[in-house]
Amino acid sequence: MKLMLTTRRCALTDRDQEILDHYLQRLEPELQHFDPDLVHLWLDIERHARREEYTGRIRLSIMGTLLPARRNVAPTLATLLKRAFDDLHEQLHRFKSKLRRDYMHERRRASLSPEMVKVQERVLLGERELLDRALAGDRAAFDALVNRELPTLTRAIEQLLAEYGRPTDTETVEHVLADVLTTAFTDLARKPTRWSTAGWLAWLARRMIRRDVKQEAVAQSEEHPAHAG
């Protein structure tokens, strides 16, 4: 991946650089199947002293497809980087999911470039290898298989908790996340073949949260039974 960074009226501190390096390290595994010469990341960051905020034009280009970060305003540079890279992860996930769907659909596959077909073949081969090891009980392989889905899964859990009127604090989200991953590792052999890993994990999360809500409702009704009139 080729990185182009420019700043206006600001400079990255050592801490900012560490944060940026962290996000780059998280992003690189997501791009491992693409030709690195055809992946470009532009970061144009500007500080606005009067508004006390930072803005950025942050774009990821993959083999000619441009993915711009839309969360590009924040009070601090560190927050700007977090919002932008979270956005890029979501867009990259959607881009790769569409590539998978097009590859799986015979007619749409014909419209893909030979390079994109090769990318998806490498993705599927890598996932198959990890899946075989995970099914054999290799937890490290399972973690590698799902690690790339964690940011998307975490946001899905937050949305599901809010949908069911549950707390969305960090502790609750992490508790649900841990339960989902434990269940997924145990039930991996039951994952539908055509389901994506991300889709299956999100389905498990919804099922678990819905179950917990129902169990709590039952417990409350038993604790406070309605009185016959």
pLDDT in tens, 118-133: 999 998 888 889 999 9
- Identity of residue 104: M
d(CA 78, CA 193): 39
In a domain, 62, yes or no: no
Number of domains in the chain: 1
What letter would DSSP give residue 226?
A: P
Mean pLDDT of the chain: 90
d(CA 199, CA 93): 11
Percent of the chain's residues with pLDDT above 70: 97
In a domain, 7, yes or no: no
Residues 6+ apart with CB under 8 A from 150: 177
- In our burial notation (b when 16+ CB lie closer than 10 A, e otherwise), range 132-149 reads ebbeeeeeebbebbbebb
pLDDT score, position 142: 95
d(CA 107, CA 21): 40
In a domain, 218, yes or no: yes
In a domain, 156, yes or no: yes
pLDDT in tens, 20-79: 999 999 899 889 899 999 999 999 999 998 888 999 999 999 999 999 999 999 999 999
pLDDT score, position 207: 95
pLDDT score, position 58: 95
- The CA radius of gyration of the chain, in Å to the nearest whole number, is 21
d(CA 122, CA 32): 10
Q: Please give the angle made by the CA atoms of 158, 138 and 145, to the nearest 5 degrees.
A: 40
d(CA 83, CA 86): 5
Q: What is this structure's pTM?
A: 0.68
In a domain, 97, yes or no: no
d(CA 206, CA 180): 10
| pLDDT grade for 229, boundaries at 50, 70 and 90 | very low
Q: From residue 158, give the alpha-carbon distance in Å to each of 23, 136, 150, 165.
A: 21, 31, 12, 11
In a domain, 93, yes or no: no
In a domain, 185, yes or no: yes
Contact 67/96 with Cβ under 8 angstroms?
no
In a domain, 112, yes or no: no
Residue 160 has pLDDT above 70, yes or no: yes
pLDDT score, position 225: 64
Q: Which domain holds residue 217?
A: 149-223
Average pLDDT value for residue range 131-136: 94
pLDDT in tens, 95-104: 988 898 899 8
Which of helix, strand or coil describes residue 82? helix
